[in-house]
Amino acid sequence: MKPTKHLLLIFLILAQVAYSQVRTVKELDINWKFQKGDFENAFEINFNDSKWENVTVPHDWAIYGPFDKEIDKQNVAIVQNGENIASEKTGRTGALPHIGTAWYRNKFTISELDLTKKVILFFEGAMSEPQIYLNGKKVGEWAYGYSYFYFDVSEFIKKGENTLAVKLTNKEFASRWYPGAGLYRKVSLITKNKANINQWGTFITTPFISKDVAKVNVKTKASVENGYLVTTVFDADGKQVSTDKSSSKFGNEFDQNIKVENPKLWSPETPYLYKSVTQLFVNEELKDEVSTLFGIREIKYEAKKGFSLNGKVRKFKGVCLHHDLGPLGTAINKAALRRQLTILKDMGCDAIRSSHNMPSIEQLELCDEMGFMFLAESFDEWAKPKVKNGYHRFFDDYAEKDIVNLVQATKNHPSIVMWSSGNEVPDQWGDEGVKRAKWLQDIFHREDPTRPVTVGMDQVKATMESGFGALLDIPGLNYRVHLYEDAFKKFPQGFILGSETASTVSSRGIYKFPVVQEKNKQYDDFQSSSYDLEACSWSNVPDEDFVLQDDKPWVIGEFVWTGFDYLGEPTPYDESWPSRSSYFGISDLAGLPKDRFYLYRSRWNTTDETLHILPHWNWEGREGETTPVFVYTNYNSAELFVNGKSMGVQKKNHSTPQNRYRLMWMDVKYEPGTLKVIALDDEGKAVSEKEIHTAGKPYKIILNPDRKTIMADGKDLSFVEVTVVDKNGIPCPTATNQLKFKVKGAGTYRAACNGDATSLEMFHIPTMKLFSGKLVVLVQSTNQSGNIELSVSGNGLKSGKLNLSSKN
């Protein structure tokens, strides 16, 4: 080894040792003990938890069921849905056992050196009303289950083994959807020197950007009397770009300006991330170090122009997402989040609204990395209640603290382009609501002067008259498409955001006849038609929003309700049982695209071809009956054939919103065989074609994973799509076979989901019925690398087998 290389190696080792001494972040994910129930002495060090369940965190205790209509049964009138008379709602919060008290206990070790340091317990979310105990003493408590919070526990720790206990309480009538239960997000132990960079103490902005240079401003709050700061910026390849040293403080804050030449800008199309490494020195000794990923980008909201990113006007092609991950419940999982975003990216989606809660850190990290703009929301209630035990109980004491934590914890994510202080709050009525809206907006502005604030408003007429909507940075309209023009004229901002749009309802692969556009339509099987023409009394079908987006330059985009189905809120069947999850999703609870996915894709994905036919072509007993055929495509015209016979050419036109965005053959008579569509360009030439066929009897199981190789970390997942086909390999779209799942090797069976909102089968039990011919199986890695084998079987079917692998 050459001397220079030898010295470099020594330097790197010393630097690594130095960093390990200045700050450690340990995720407390394993060795947790859990038990549901209120145990009076569970916070004590010597409490006997030997018979408690062993779990890993993140953990959702309620997702394991069973489903029960009596759980959180509510006799209410849902004002947001325009109801005036109370009625029994049985699946509103998912009919899963999330109500009650539970305890978590864990142990961690503290060294003698750590006793001289600052030690922080950081919770990224705990559902809900957490009370935290360490070594038998109460450290503190929080109220909001969606909030990030931390406690300095330096005075509570001791050398050797320390016992952490967490009490959580979920009250009934506390949510409008499935909230989950437990330590559903990460818990971390942070150890650092007394002289340190504050928790969430770094704020990076890019106040000046040109083609040649960008100014990166880094404000850093530090707990130190005398010292200096060195901040270095690295590009995505790890190459040093620029560095700055500062010993000047304003109060407890350093303020540095760093030059980045030829900046690469962050956008959904080019999500380029730089890294800032900030080091705190005292007397030349490194005391703390924090790394922060950030993006260089410019956002503007202007009258007439609307929203622009990096100088280019664009409209949000966004979706709203609740925080549950279908069969995983609310327990956060990065592989599941990445799969969601991958599906949305293919659809052409470029923006996410966290509805109606603070997003997970993992979700924001992925949006930064994969390229999604983000509307980070805070509350579903202010001081006036929607549900008996909702956030209004905490609003006066916690609203400011919760907003401060939201902004401070997430402010460096380039994906966040606006904040939301609320959704459809009853405070939209009256003078007090106007004052609360301003108070909350002012807190956001104080904590982050760089981003605007919105509220999702459904009482638009009231907010037009009271001044509520006028004071917001961005007036957000939830539905109310008939009031867009009036709101634009009344509000002074010069633009309108569709903060929540559509709420079309459908069930994947289910089609109802006759095909007509209807509101609040219900059927005996508790499903909704996938012809995408059914909505609620207060909502609308997608095409009505498309018209506003395309024809009104002052409409700056939309966030569709919702990107995926979610647990709870089973409108329009919230008075029916069994029905325990939503119908609003563009994709179902399993993440399988519904037909509506391709309608949005035909508009939003401007780089890839979309050519999708509906319905399926298995209609035994409907021979000769009218069975309309729709085609969702980015082409303007197409010709349809049934068994080789032309049904004519349809061309998009402006006669109705549906005719403008869909190709529809309304008079097709069903006959089994082949349905074929040929897409035509603007000159009438054939450019693409697609066929679907009538399937025979179910014969074979086909397995298709989203990934064949996963990480051997005990957390990673492969989502395997399971399809039943006939002898000719044609998918069987009406198959409902009961299947069984078995996993061998370096993996385990985690869950399954078929997307059926009426199914009461539990996700974690290795058997489930197909729904519309499909379901999804989740295979989870262990901590051992190796081969994984998934086998799926069903009576009378040729089994499916799949080999996966996990690697360190």
pLDDT tens digit sequence for 216-267: 999 999 999 889 999 999 999 999 999 999 999 999 999 999 999 999 999 9
Positive or negative: CA dihedral 90, 94, 96, 98: negative
Predicted confidence (pLDDT) per residue in 564-617, tens digit = 999 999 999 999 999 999 999 999 999 999 999 999 999 999 999 999 999 999
What is residue 10's predicted lDDT score, i.e. its pLDDT? 39
**Is residue 183 scored above 50 in pLDDT?**
yes
Burial 608-624 (b: 16+ CB within 10 A, else e): eebbbbbbbbbbeeeee
Q: Please, are residues 780 and 764 in contact by the beta-carbon 8 Å criterion?
A: no
C-alpha 238/C-alpha 234 separation (Å) is 5
Closest by Cα among 120, 113, 274 to 197: 120
C-alpha 672/C-alpha 666 separation (Å) is 17
What is residue 17's predicted lDDT score, i.e. its pLDDT? 40
CATH number, domain 700-807:
2.60.40.10
What is residue 85's predicted lDDT score, i.e. its pLDDT? 82
C-alpha 182/C-alpha 189 separation (Å) is 18
Helix (H) or strand (E) holding 27: strand 23-27
C-alpha 582/C-alpha 359 separation (Å) is 20
C-alpha 719/C-alpha 698 separation (Å) is 22
Class of 196-294 per CATH? mainly beta
Lay out the sheet containing 23-27: strands in order across: 23-27, 187-192, 118-123, 149-152
Parallel/antiparallel/unpaired status of strands 316-321 and 351-354: parallel
Q: Residues 124, 500, 534, 639: which is the catalytic one?
A: 500
Closest by Cα among 294, 297, 299 to 232: 294
What is residue 528's predicted lDDT score, i.e. its pLDDT? 98
Q: At which residue do the structure tokens 């051997």 appear?
A: 712
The two structure tokens encoding residue 501: 């749009």
Closest by Cα among 695, 702, 730, 694 to 797: 702
Parallel/antiparallel/unpaired status of strands 555-561 and 496-502: parallel
* Arithmetic mean of pLDDT over the chain: 95
9: β partners? none
Q: Please, are residues 176 and 76 in contact by the beta-carbon 8 Å criterion?
A: no
Question: Averaged over 395-416, what is the pLDDT?
Answer: 98
Question: Averaged over 204-211, what is the pLDDT?
Answer: 98
Q: Please, are residues 591 and 776 in contact by the beta-carbon 8 Å criterion?
A: yes
The pair phi, psi for residue 310, each rounded to 5°, is: 55, 40
Predicted confidence (pLDDT) per residue in 492-542, tens digit = 999 999 999 999 999 999 999 999 999 999 999 999 999 999 999 999 999
Predicted confidence (pLDDT) per residue in 110-138, tens digit = 999 999 999 999 999 999 999 999 999 99
The two structure tokens encoding residue 294: 């950030």
What is residue 123's predicted lDDT score, i.e. its pLDDT? 98
Model confidence at 21, pLDDT cuts 50, 70, 90, reads: low
Parallel/antiparallel/unpaired status of strands 249-250 and 196-209: unpaired
Cα angle 534, 537, 539 (rounded to 5 degrees) comes to 70
Q: Please, are residues 226 and 282 in contact by the beta-carbon 8 Å criterion?
A: yes
Predicted confidence (pLDDT) per residue in 726-774, tens digit = 999 999 999 999 999 999 999 999 999 999 999 999 999 999 999 999 9
What is residue 15's predicted lDDT score, i.e. its pLDDT? 40
What's 61's DSSP letter?
Answer: G
Q: At which residue do the structure tokens 């038998």 appear?
A: 136
Residue 356, preceding bond cis, omega within 30 degrees? yes
The two structure tokens encoding residue 453: 């604030």
H runs (alpha helix) in 50-104? none
Per the annotation, the verdict on 424 as an active-site residue is: yes
- Side chain identity, residue 140: G
Closest by Cα among 116, 104, 277 to 191: 116
Model confidence at 14, pLDDT cuts 50, 70, 90, reads: very low
Q: At which residue do the structure tokens 């076979």 appear?
A: 737
Q: C-alpha distances in angstroms, 781 versus 362, 718, 778, 786?
A: 19, 8, 10, 9
Model confidence at 77, pLDDT cuts 50, 70, 90, reads: confident
For the chain, percent of residues with pLDDT exceeding 90: 94
Q: At which residue do the structure tokens 């074929």 appear?
A: 676
What's the N-to-C CA distance of the chain in angstroms? 29
Q: Please, are residues 278 and 289 in contact by the beta-carbon 8 Å criterion?
A: yes
Q: Please, are residues 806 and 781 in contact by the beta-carbon 8 Å criterion?
A: yes
Positive or negative: CA dihedral 48, 54, 59, 60: negative
Chain region(s) in the chain for CATH 2.60.40.10: 196-294, 611-693, 700-807
Per the annotation, the verdict on 500 as an active-site residue is: yes
CATH number, domain 299-503+538-566:
3.20.20.80
Chain region(s) in the chain for CATH 3.20.20.80: 299-503+538-566
Q: What is the largest CA-CA distance in the chain?
A: 88
C-alpha 125/C-alpha 121 separation (Å) is 12
Q: Residues 124, 289, 424, 671: which is the catalytic one?
A: 424
What is residue 197's predicted lDDT score, i.e. its pLDDT? 97
3-state secondary structure of 691: strand
Lay out the sheet containing 299-302: strands in order across: 299-302, 306-309, 312-313
Q: Please, are residues 598 and 675 in contact by the beta-carbon 8 Å criterion?
A: no
**Is residue 4 scored above 50 in pLDDT?**
no
Select 611-693's CATH number: 2.60.40.10, 3.40.47.10, 2.30.30.30, 3.10.20.740: 2.60.40.10
Q: Please, are residues 776 and 726 in contact by the beta-carbon 8 Å criterion?
A: no
